[in-house]
Amino acid sequence: MNTNIPTPYKADILVVDDKPDNLRLLSTMLTEQGYKVRKVISGELALKACQIMPPDLILLDINMPNMNGYMVCQHLKSKPETQNIPVIFISALDGVVDKVEAFSHGGADYITKPFEIQEVLARVKNQLTIRQLQKKLQQQNDLLSQEIKERERAETELQKLNRELHLLATLDGLTQVGNRRCFDENFNIEWRRLQREKAPLSLILCDVDYFKLYNDTYGHLVGDFCLKQIAQTINHTLKRPADLVARYGGEEFAIILPHTYIEGAVHIAELVQQNIQELQIVHGKSSVAEYVTLSMGVSCVIPQLNLAPNQLIDATDEALYAAKAQGRNCVVAKVLEIPAESS
């Protein structure tokens, strides 16, 4: 429905008065000014007329039988569909108390009888102008509200896309665990956080034993599936939200364990090793077991200002190298030596 179609009249005015002479006089002078005028002789009929089609303005007599003007106005103001229609009271009552009563019931203006035609026209025009401005303001507010909602929806969608992009940028496409970028970001974040909290940070580096031989024997597709199984098994082994597994290299995985001392980290490493062995992924070319196994290096430190994050990584890498040197398929822990603070 197009609400912008121009009307042949300036406004729709409802005149309510139980005196036919008053109705005729008001109707004639308003019609001559280009207004559409509807006339009713009682408060009950006024409410019905407003229900059928709300007018732009109501001229309302106060003294009417059964339902006076105050009651009509109060009823109109109680309904959302009619509460914004301006009501001009027209009455022979000219006392201050009467006018206060009229305004207290929601009247927009008050004209005393006998009325002057020019005064009525001026007050009618004034209320219609105010009402028109209110409508325009409401339209602008509605548009602004809609724009705000659209902007909020756009911002929400943008945040969602950014999260998805960040996830894609930090997720290893093959194993569906964190990639090297994810590891670097989280490791540095946890290092700074635990440095402030003076709490331990443990790191585990895992290497699939003889994985090149596995690939050469069974093919790269089978090798990729093997890495997926290992990554997901490690991921399921970790129980705390802050713990993180990431693919560190080709067949290497890193596990970040905040708030974990060396003993707890070794326990996690052994649990991961056990869960991988339970997969029983056949590895016919391994010289340490008939199934796929892991060599694991573990280290731990309480981050400090006189330590660099890479020192923990280097210590863990040395522990992993020692595990390989000891025959693989084992866990080696290395205590990170903390340099003395310079005086």
Q: How many residues does the chain have?
A: 343
d(CA 135, CA 35): 19
**Omega within 30 of 0 (cis) for the link into 241:** no
Token couple for 309 = 């994050």
Q: Among 153, 111, 130, 145, which Cα is nearest to 15's?
A: 111
Q: Among 58, 103, 123, 52, which Cα is nearest to 84's?
A: 58
Please say if 252 is a catalytic residue: no
d(CA 69, CA 199): 77
Neighbour tally for 153: CB within 10 Å: 10
Strand arrangement of the beta sheet that strand 109-112 belongs to: 36-40, 12-16, 57-61, 87-91, 109-112
Q: Which residue has the tokens 């997969």?
A: 279
Cite the beta strand spans of 225-330 per DSSP E.
Answer: 244-247, 252-258, 294-301
List 232's β-bridge partners, or say none: none
Catalytic residue among 44, 164, 251, 278: 251
**What string of DSSP letters covers 120-153?**
HHHHHHHHHHHHHHHHHHHHHHHHHHHHHHHHHH
Q: Which residues are catalytic?
A: 251
